[in-house]
Amino acid sequence: MLAEKERAEWLRQKANWTRLSAMTMTHHARLGHTGGDLSSADILTVLYLGGILRIDPARPDWPQRDRFILSKGHCSGAFYSTLASRGFFPLERLQTYMDSLSMLNGHPDRNKLPGVEANTGPLGHGLPIAVGAALAARMRKENWRVFVLTGDGELQEGSNWEAAMTAQHYGLDNLIVIVDRNRIQQGDFTEKTIRMEPLAERWSAFGFAVEEIDGHDTAALLGRFDRLPFQPGKPSCLIAHTIKGKGVSFAENQPSWHHGVPNDKQLAAAAVELGAEVGW
Ligand SMILES: [Mg+2]
C-alpha cells in the first residue's frame, strides 16, 4: 500500500517537473500554451511514467506498442517534456523548443520527433485518427491500445462526434478517450463559448463507457488506467476534471493563460510554487 502511495507521490513530483519544464520552454520561445500544459501534466505523466502505456523508447516504431495521440497538439510543451523524461530523446533538446530547424515545433510532427504518433494542432483531428488506429488493431487481430487526449473546447469540432459514432459502431474497446476538462478554451470559459454540458451524458449517448475523475490525482489516475476497458465491447471515455494553469497560482483558471507566457519573474515564482528544478 505504501509503495502505491509512494509511486503516486513520485508521479506528482514528476508532473510538477513537467510543468516547470513546459513553462521554461514557453518562456524561451516567447510562445506557447502554458495553461493547457499545466492542466494536462498529471495525465501525461501517469500514462508515460506510471507504466500505463506499453511503449519502448528505444523502439519508437515497435509494432506492438500502445499508441498515444495528443489531440490538443498545442500543449506540446508538456508533451515533449514527458517524452524526453521517458527517454524518447535527450532532455537537452527541450532547449530548442520552436527554434528554427528544431525538431520541437509548436505542434507535434511525427516525421521529426520519436514518440509522436500523429501530427496534431488543428483541433478535432486526434480522435478520428485514434479511431482509425484502433480499428486497424482490431482488423489485424492485435492487442495494442489507442489513447487520445483531447481538450474540452475542441469537442466543439463536429469531427469528434463523427469519430465517436464510428468507434461505437465497431465496438472499439481498445480505444480510450481522455478529456482534459479544464473548462477553459482559447478566449474564454467553455460554457460561455459553446456549452459542453452535460458532457458525460453526451459521450454515453454516443455509446462510450464513461467515467469521471480528478485529473490531478495521480493515485486515482493510476488506479483507473490499470483497469481498461471500462466496459468490454465499448470504447472508454475518461472525463478528467482539471484546472487550467494547475499548480501556478497566478495562472490557475485564467483564460488569458491559454496563450500566456511567463516573464522572468513569473518563471522564478512558478519554480518555487512547483517545488521543481528543470535541470536541462
Ligand atoms: Mg480546455
Distance of CA 150 from the midpoint of ligand 1 (Å): 9
Strand partners, 213: 240
Tell me if 147 sits within 8 A of 110, measured CB to CB: no
Distance of CA 40 from the midpoint of ligand 1 (Å): 10
pLDDT at 2 over 70: no
What pLDDT is attached to residue 1? 59
Distance of CA 184 from the midpoint of ligand 1 (Å): 4
AA identity, residue 199:
L
CA distance 34 to 174: 31
Distance of CA 9 from the midpoint of ligand 1 (Å): 25
Distances (CA, A) of 40 to 116, 180, 197, 232: 17, 6, 20, 27
Select from 82, 46, 87, 68 the least CA-distant residue to 226: 46
What pLDDT is attached to residue 44? 98
Mean pLDDT of the chain: 97
What pLDDT is attached to residue 177? 98
Contacting residues for 187 by C-beta, under 8 A, at least 6 apart: 193, 255, 258
Contacting residues for 31 by C-beta, under 8 A, at least 6 apart: 98, 106, 261
pLDDT at 4 over 90: no
Rounded to 10°, the helix 2-29/218-225 angle is: 110
Distance of CA 221 from the midpoint of ligand 1 (Å): 19
Cis-peptide, bond into residue 198, ω within 30° of zero: yes
Grid coordinates standing for 51?
507504466
Distance of CA 38 from the midpoint of ligand 1 (Å): 11
CA distance 4 to 223: 10
Distance of CA 153 from the midpoint of ligand 1 (Å): 5
Distance of CA 39 from the midpoint of ligand 1 (Å): 9
Distance of CA 95 from the midpoint of ligand 1 (Å): 26
Tell me if 78 sits within 8 A of 41, measured CB to CB: yes
Distance of CA 247 from the midpoint of ligand 1 (Å): 16
Q: What are phi and psi of 43, to 5 degrees?
A: -65, -50
How do residues 9-44 score in pLDDT, each as one tens digit? 999 999 999 999 999 999 999 999 999 999 999 999
pLDDT at 162 over 90: yes
Distance of CA 136 from the midpoint of ligand 1 (Å): 29
Distance of CA 159 from the midpoint of ligand 1 (Å): 17
Distance of CA 142 from the midpoint of ligand 1 (Å): 33
Contacting residues for 88 by C-beta, under 8 A, at least 6 apart: 57, 60, 113, 114, 115
Tell me if 116 sits within 8 A of 110, measured CB to CB: yes
Distance of CA 271 from the midpoint of ligand 1 (Å): 23
Q: What is the mean pLDDT of residues 112-130?
A: 96
CA distance 47 to 51: 7
CA distance 179 to 242: 9
Q: What is the mean pLDDT of residues 239-264?
A: 97
* Domains (range + CATH), the chain: 2-274 (3.40.50.970)
Distance of CA 140 from the midpoint of ligand 1 (Å): 35
How do residues 47-69 score in pLDDT, each as one tens digit? 999 999 999 999 999 999 999 99
What pLDDT is attached to residue 9? 97
Distance of CA 258 from the midpoint of ligand 1 (Å): 8
Distance of CA 101 from the midpoint of ligand 1 (Å): 29
CA distance 248 to 171: 40
Distance of CA 172 from the midpoint of ligand 1 (Å): 25
Distance of CA 86 from the midpoint of ligand 1 (Å): 25
Element (H, E) at 178: strand 175-181
pTM: 0.97
